[in-house]
Amino acid sequence: MDPAPEPGSIPAPAPATLPLAADGYPAAGDVTRRPVGQAESARANRGWWDAAAPAYLAEHGTDLGDADFLWCPEGLREADAHLLGDVTGRRVLEIGCGSAPCSRWLRRAGASPIALDVSGGMLARAAELNRATGLPVPLLQADAGALPLATDSVDLACSAFGGLPFVADAQAVLGEVARVLRPGGRFVASVNHPMRWPMPDSPDPADLRVASSYFDRTPYVETDDAGRTVYVEHHRTVGDWVRAVVGAGLVLRDLLEPEWTPGRTQTWGQWSPARGALVPGTLVLVCELPDRPEETAWTS
């Protein structure tokens, strides 16, 4: 096994402390759409998640669990889906781990996980939960676009709504994943379903109306009262995701659009039982690094 990874380089934070709204999340002074590069995205989102970590985990921590693997708000769990296959004895990289419940679940399942996130605030809570659960996993602070791991150093990689929606160059991140995966290794990631983008961010089915273009890739940007970028989210179409996967040298084995789990009542942002019964809210990419370099395509 490779030695423990060294800490990666982290973009300088956007304001060191962000003013919070009444709900505990960073307050947005303005919302706009404009081009944003990777460095600005990473800087802003690191600061936002550092500030938002307490409110986010207070709101969703019970649902996420301390050592559980939830792929998406629809309620799909790895214990039922087995998207990663047999993880026993496998070295697994989790990208965008947050408080790292997925990595602790992987450790309990017999894997050797590494939990990576850009946010020190999230990793601080992950360290607390490592101690509380008795399931310590290595924690690594780094940007997903520059993974501080050796080439061919992990057997599996995963990302449950972590990192990918917030990066300007998804193919570059997927290329990094392909670099650190061993041949035959699998990468599974859940992201916002692209059909969420043109519709209002509301859990009410009455708001299922097209408010903007599905094909408009201009990033969503929040700024503070001083005009500094504090949050960025990037949109890709389904076709964009397929091309990014293939362009990174990975093979796309499956695309999942999870249906709402029967009996699940949680509302999570615009995800809700009523809306989830009508339209997909999550896209899951199941990819592999081919054993043969020439095998780069959609295959099943």
Q: What is the pLDDT of residues 163-188, one digit of tens each?
A: 899 999 999 999 999 999 999 999 99
| Residues 138 and 100 sit within 8 Å (Cβ to Cβ) | no
| Residues 260 and 186 sit within 8 Å (Cβ to Cβ) | no
Residue 287 confidence (pLDDT) above 70: yes
- Any domain includes 3: no
Q: How far apart are CA 188 and CA 252, in angstroms?
A: 10
Domains in the chain: how many in total?
A: 1
Q: How far apart are CA 156 and CA 188, in angstroms?
A: 8
Q: What is the pLDDT of residues 46-96, one digit of tens each?
A: 999 999 999 999 999 999 999 999 999 999 999 999 999 999 999 999 999
- Any domain includes 19: no
- Any domain includes 6: no
- Any domain includes 293: no
Q: What is the pLDDT of residues 4-50, one digit of tens each?
A: 333 333 333 444 578 999 999 999 889 999 999 999 999 999 999 99
Q: What is the pLDDT of residues 218-261, one digit of tens each?
A: 999 999 888 899 999 999 999 999 999 999 999 999 999 999 99
- Any domain includes 272: yes
Q: How high is the pLDDT of residue 293?
A: 58
- Any domain includes 144: yes
Mean pLDDT, rounded, for 143-148: 93
Residue 283 confidence (pLDDT) above 70: yes
Report the CATH number at residue 166.
3.40.50.150
- Any domain includes 69: yes
- Any domain includes 10: no
Q: Which domain holds residue 35?
A: 30-288
Judging by beta carbons within 10 Å of its beta carbon (0-12, 13-18, 19+), is residue 34 exposed, middle or buried? Answer: exposed
